[in-house]
């Protein structure tokens, strides 16, 4: 039940069209929630029906025309309520760890390459996030409550990538000993 709330948050930060939201989900929102444009359009429809958001009046409302949405008071109330509810962390589901465990049973042939590939991807992601941190949250922008919180969320994304790169490096060190 998180996608509608992700959309409400994004729209409160800035009213947008479906495609704009998709792009924001691919970029900055992506470090804590991902979604395809299909999910977003479907959810925008539901949120509008529920009276949580509305389409801003457009000059030419027809297919293929941009449609901007903004959050209505009911939507803000729902989001506020959701943030206040308590919710347990979901158990992990990570395919790479699973595949490594499977490799322990059926053999690790070629697996070091896959680990190296993932390491490169996570290093790139880490660099991108660190760039965003420098650009969007220089020390002078870490004073207001909202900026401090947004920075904290980005720090979560950064530290998570750091965990992956560290773990992959540890894993590869073991492979280099025993697999070459």
The residue among 34 and 136 lying less far from DNA, judged by its C-beta, is 34
Among the listed residues 37, 42, 46, 155, the single contact to a second copy using CB under 8 A: 155
Q: Using CA atoms, how far apart are residues 111 and 114, in angstroms rounded to an integer?
A: 5
74 lines the binding site for a second copy (CB under 8 A): no
Q: Which stretch binds DNA (CB under 7 A): 12-20, 107-115, 129-137, 156-164?
A: 12-20
Among the listed residues 57, 59, 110, 138, the single contact to a second copy using CB under 8 A: 110
Residues in the chain, total: 180
64 lines the binding site for DNA (CB under 7 A): yes
Q: In whole angstroms, how far apart are CA 126 and each of 46, 100, 164, 168? A: 35, 23, 10, 13
Q: Using CA atoms, how far apart are residues 157 and 1, in angstroms rounded to an integer?
A: 21
Q: Using CA atoms, how far apart are residues 22 and 128, in angstroms rounded to an integer?
A: 19
3 lines the binding site for DNA (CB under 7 A): yes
Residues that bind DNA (CB under 7 A): 1-3, 17-20, 34-39, 41-42, 44-45, 60, 62-67, 90, 93
């Amino acid at each position: 039940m998180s996608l509608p709330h992700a959309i409400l948050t994004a729209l409160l930060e800035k009213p947008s069209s479906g495609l704009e939201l998709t792009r924001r989900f691919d970029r900055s929102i992506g470090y804590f929630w991902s979604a395809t444009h299909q999910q977003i359009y479907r959810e925008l429809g539901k949120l509008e029906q529920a009276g949580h958001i509305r389409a801003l009046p457009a000059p030419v409302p027809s297919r293929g025309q941009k449609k901007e949405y903004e959050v209505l008071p009911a939507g803000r109330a729902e989001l506020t309520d959701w943030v206040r509810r308590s919710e347990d962390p979901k158990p992990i589901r990570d395919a790479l760890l699973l595949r490594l465990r499977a490799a322990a049973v059926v053999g690790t042939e070629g697996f070091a390459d896959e680990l190296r590939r993932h390491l490169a991807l996570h290093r790139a992601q880490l660099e991108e996030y660190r760039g965003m941190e420098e650009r969007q949250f220089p020390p002078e922008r870490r004073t207001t409550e909202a900026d401090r919180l947004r920075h904290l969320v980005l720090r979560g994304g950064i530290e998570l990538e750091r965990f992956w790169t560290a773990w992959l490096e540890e894993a590869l060190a073991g492979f280099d000993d025993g697999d070459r």
